[in-house]
Every structure is written in C-alpha cells, then in structure tokens.
Amino acid sequence: MWTDGHGVPLSGLREVHLLLAHGAHNQFADLAPTARAEMLAMQWILGRQEMRQFLGGPPMVPYEEPWMDRVDTMKELQGWPDPSITHFFDLAVHGERLVLSVRHGQWNSTDHTRKDAEHWALLFRESVQRYVHAYRAVTGADLTAGVDATMPSALLAKRMRARRVRA
C-alpha cells in the first residue's frame, strides 16, 4: 500500500489522482460510452440461450455472469491463455472501481487527511485484494512483491509463449 511515511496511503492517493487527472483528456468524446455499450451488447449476445446451446460450457462452474462460460469455451477453442474469464472480469470490475475512486476522489485537496486515506483503504480493501489476486493469476506477476513496470500485455504474451513451448 502507498504510504506517506507514517503508514497511511494519503501521498500515494494524491500522486495517483494527479497522474489520472493528467491523462483525463483521453477519456472525452464518446469513446468510453461507445466501448461500454459495445461490450454490454457482446455480453448480452453471449448470454443468450442460443449461444449456450451452440458453444456449450462447463455446467458446474459457478460463474458470476451467464455469458462467462461461453468466453471460457471460446478461449479454449482459440488456444488463448489459461486463466479463467473470472480473473479478467475481476480485473475489469475492481480495477475500474479503484481507478474511479481515486480519480474522482479529489485527493489533492487540502481537505483530505490521513484519516480519509485510511478510510479509503479500508473501504476498498477487498477490491485491492481481488485485483492483486486476479493480476497474478492472469500475468504471473506478484504485485505484492514490488513494482514491475512490464506492460500486462507483454506478461500475457510471455505466458502464451511458455504455454506453446510446453505443448
């Protein structure tokens, strides 16, 4: 966890907030809503009974969404990485939750105290834990062991190459 030297994450939250604010110009226009609408449409199509009948899927796996088993089936057919769609889903859901909480939290305001940062850390503890676990399951990189600036796509490509060598 980020700390300001006193065991609290306030300085780290401020830094991440400012970094996200600097990149905010990339989120304007209709790109984000369009991408979200397209993804929801894909999930709806994959969740249809016809797709279940066509693609099948593991019947006893407890997925959080009805479309997830079809994605795992397609991943297997295409020879994509081993981690379940559940881990990618956790990365998306909890990653977005964390980023938005920091981006829109106005952490550079002088009104925020270390106590606010401690409350944020407690409130988002489960999201941080689930994100870190899913990141390790997907990329093989352990975020608790230290900072690794390697792009996740490079880590995924490395895992796919290793998988092909084993096969």
Asked if pLDDT for residue 133 goes beyond 60, the answer is yes
Per-residue pLDDT tens over the stretch 147-158: 788 888 898 888
pLDDT score recorded for residue 25? 60
Compute the average pLDDT of residues 3-7. 47
Tokens of 36: 């979200």
**Helix pair 125-139, 114-123: axis angle to 10 deg:** 60
**Helix pair 31-47, 68-78: axis angle to 10 deg:** 90
The Cα–Cα gap between 49 and 67 comes to 10
85 close to 75: Cβ distance less than 8 angstroms? yes
pTM, two decimals, is 0.77
Asked if pLDDT for residue 58 goes beyond 60, the answer is yes
DSSP 29: T
Question: Residue ranges per domain, the chain?
Answer: 10-166
